[in-house]
Every structure is written in structure tokens, then in C-alpha cells.
Amino acid sequence: MEREKAVLLLGGARRFAWKALIVVALSGAVSFAFSKGLLRLLLKAAHVKIYFLSLPEVFLSSVELSIYAGVFFAVPFIVFLAWHEFHGVTGLKRLQGYAFALAAILLFYGGGLFCYTIVLPSGIGFLVDFGKGNNIVAMISMERFVAFCSGMIFACSAAFEIPIILLLLSKMGLVRAKTLSKTRRYAMLVIAIASALITPTPDLYNMALIAVPMYILYEVGILLMRISEPRGQSTGQGG
């Protein structure tokens, strides 16, 4: 029985991978046509000038940005594909699954918007200001700029998925709200480390811009777990 289940999961994973790859490729191809506009949006948030340091850099960076954008804009399709292929593993009913998928999409793009409007301008501003003086001039290459901004946006978007991840783990019976309530200090440590890795700046202000929302979302996840868990499992789970 377990072997049959593993075979079904493997088959679902293969189908999901191929379908997701096709969707991302199509999304990336469309994004390439608008790569200059996407770059202008990033520059508008960063308030910096960038340079290309080699002849093919503009083209290659445009391709790289299109790939990132292709994945970013394909997220709704990827989430629903994942639900279609793996809904049997989660134990969720049809309506619950669609609610989870919609919430995951909204949180992902909410994290991206939060990064674009708040974290990215603040982080880049700090780094540029820190490098000023002593005849030092910032010459940011297009390739480094695209990779830096895209990585930041994806990291923030993924961090905002905490409530959905916790709730899914709870639905699958892998973790309980009581356990997470008792391990808050460790969660705070992990969140602090994660925020330090996501934000490229060493100052507490920029780290807090990520850490505080992540911890709030962690608490929201615990609250949703308590609501969704059977009453007998939720009793006495305060912490």
C-alpha cells in the first residue's frame, strides 16, 4: 500500500514538474517582451543608476530578469497545479484546498509588494549611503542589480507563506499548535537568522522590517492551527 502511494506521488511529482516548467517557460517568454519595463520598475524602487560592464550583459540580464519574472507571475498556476496533483496528501476538502491556494497566492504577492515598496528601497538606500565618501562612487552592474532585487523579492514572498505552511503541516498531522506555542523562543531565533540572511544590511532597522512581519505571521499561523484543530487537541495549548 505504501509502495503504491509512493508511486502515485512520484507520478504526480513528474506531471507537476513538467506542467510547471511549461507554464514558467511561457510566462518567461511573455515577460521577456516587457523586460525593459520590469527593469524600470525595479529602478524606480531602488533609486539608483546601473551600468552594463560587458557587451552581452544587457541581453543576458534581460533574460535572467525574464526567468525570475516568469516564475513570479506563474505562481498562481503553479499553486493550483500543486493542489490538483497533491490534494490527496493534504487531507483537505475541495473548498478548503481552493481557499488555501488563494491564500497562498495572496500572501506570496503581498510579500513581494512589501519588499518592493519598503524593504528594497530601504536596504539599497542603506548600502549605497554606506559606500559614499572617500571618493567612492557606486557603479552597480545590471546583472548584480537584477539578481539582488529578484532574490530579495522572492525571499520576502516566500517568508510571507509561513501561516499557510504551518496550517498545511497541521492538517497533515505533522505538527500541532501546542508544540509551536512551547517553542516560540526557537522560532524567534530562526526568524532572526532568516531575516539576517534575507536582508543584505547589518543594521537592526532593516532586519526588523523582515523579522517583525515574519513573527506576526508565525503567530497568525498558530492561531489558525488552533482554530482548525479538533477541540480535544487544542485544549490547553496556550503558551
Instruction: Kindly state whether residues 34 and 130 are assigned to the same domain.
Output: yes
Instruction: Kindly state whether residues 135 and 170 are assigned to the same domain.
Output: no
* Per-residue pLDDT reduced to its tens digit, 113-153: 999 999 999 988 888 887 676 777 788 999 999 999 999 99
**What's the structural domain count of the chain?**
2
Domain boundary among 159, 179, 200: 159
Structure pTM? 0.86
Instruction: Kindly state whether residues 58 and 140 are assigned to the same domain.
Output: yes
* Per-residue pLDDT reduced to its tens digit, 98-114: 888 999 999 999 999 99
Instruction: Kindly state whether residues 66 and 133 are assigned to the same domain.
Output: yes
State the DSSP H helix or E strand holding residue 173, giving kind and residue range, or none if neither: none
Torsion of CA 94, 98, 101, 103, to 10 degrees: -130
* Per-residue pLDDT reduced to its tens digit, 198-215: 887 777 888 898 999 999
For residue 133, the 8-state DSSP code is B
* C-alpha closest to that of 57 among 141, 155, 140: 141
Domain boundary among 159, 193, 224: 159
Per the structure block, which three cell numbers stand in for 230? Answer: 479538533
In terms of Cβ atoms closer than 10 Å to its own Cβ (0-12, 13-18, 19+), residue 230 is exposed
State the DSSP H helix or E strand holding residue 51, giving kind and residue range, or none if neither: strand 50-51
Instruction: Kindly state whether residues 198 and 139 are assigned to the same domain.
Output: no
Residue 1, pLDDT score: 52
Instruction: Kindly state whether residues 143 and 224 are assigned to the same domain.
Output: no
Instruction: Kindly state whether residues 75 and 105 are assigned to the same domain.
Output: yes
Angle at 209 between CA 49 and CA 198, to 5 degrees: 70
Instruction: Kindly state whether residues 41 and 122 are assigned to the same domain.
Output: yes
Instruction: Kindly state whether residues 180 and 200 are assigned to the same domain.
Output: yes
Instruction: Kindly state whether residues 151 and 170 are assigned to the same domain.
Output: no
Domain boundary among 159, 176, 200: 159
Domain assignment of residue 199, given as a range: 161-239
Instruction: Kindly state whether residues 152 and 166 are assigned to the same domain.
Output: no
Instruction: Kindly state whether residues 226 and 181 are assigned to the same domain.
Output: yes
Per the structure block, which three cell numbers stand in for 14? Answer: 513528474
How far apart are alpha carbons 39 and 32 in whole angstroms?
11
* Per-residue pLDDT reduced to its tens digit, 51-92: 998 999 999 999 999 999 999 999 999 998 888 877 776 667
